[in-house]
């Protein structure tokens, strides 16, 4: 795999992760009136986003070697599933509030990341 392809894969995976981490940080900073549960879930989404960022290095190395390390595929998808569940719960608590706009951006980034990861993992 060429270094240009590797850079593109890394960029395609990192961009939605940066949105997840950035918007969750923004929501935590501007959490006036948020419940402890909402703050904890936002922290979990942020933490999972950072975890995915660390896993991207292994995904890129695996894509370059044409084989993902054992368990990486399942771990990546498990973190995404956990994040989707937290976001669904947060969406219920933020329904009709201004924070919903940022939450929808995080949900969109998770959807894009899921699609991109599936494409990368199938080609590895």
Q: Is the model more confident about 94 or about 31?
A: 94
pLDDT at 1: 62
What's the average model confidence in pLDDT over 19-27? 97
Neighbours of 85 (CB within 10 A): 12
Span 70-110, pLDDT tens digits: 899 999 999 999 999 999 999 999 999 999 999 999 999 99
State residue 60's pLDDT score. 84
pLDDT, position 124: 67
In sequence order, what DSSP letters do the residues of 21-32 get, joined into one string? HHHHHHHHHT-T
Rama region for 67: left / alpha / beta (φ>0; ψ in -120 to 50; rest): beta
Euclidean distance between CA atoms 60 and 73, whole angstroms: 12
**CB 48, CB 82: distance < 8 Å:** yes
The pLDDT value recorded for residue 7 is 85
Domains with residue ranges and CATH for the chain: 3-123 (1.20.1440)
Listed residue (59, 40, 41, 50) closest to 20, CA to CA: 50
What average pLDDT does the structure give for the chain?
Answer: 91
- Please provide the DSSP assignment of 80-123 as one string: HHHHHHHHHHHHHHHTTSTTHHHHHHHHHHHHHHHHHHHHHHHH
pLDDT at 19 over 80: yes
């Amino acid at each position: 795999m060429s270094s240009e392809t590797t850079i593109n894969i890394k960029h395609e995976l990192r961009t939605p992760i940066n949105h997840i981490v950035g918007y969750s940080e923004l929501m935590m900073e501007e959490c006036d009136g948020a419940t402890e549960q909402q703050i904890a879930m936002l922290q979990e989404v942020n933490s999972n986003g950072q975890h995915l960022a660390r896993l991207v290095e292994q995904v890129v190395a695996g894509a370059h070697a044409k084989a993902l390390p054992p368990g990486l595929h399942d771990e990546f998808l498990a973190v995404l599933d956990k994040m989707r569940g937290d976001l669904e719960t947060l969406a219920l608590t933020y329904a009709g509030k201004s924070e919903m706009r940022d939450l929808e951006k995080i949900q969109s980034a998770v959807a894009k990341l899921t699609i991109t990861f599936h494409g990368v993992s199938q080609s590895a």
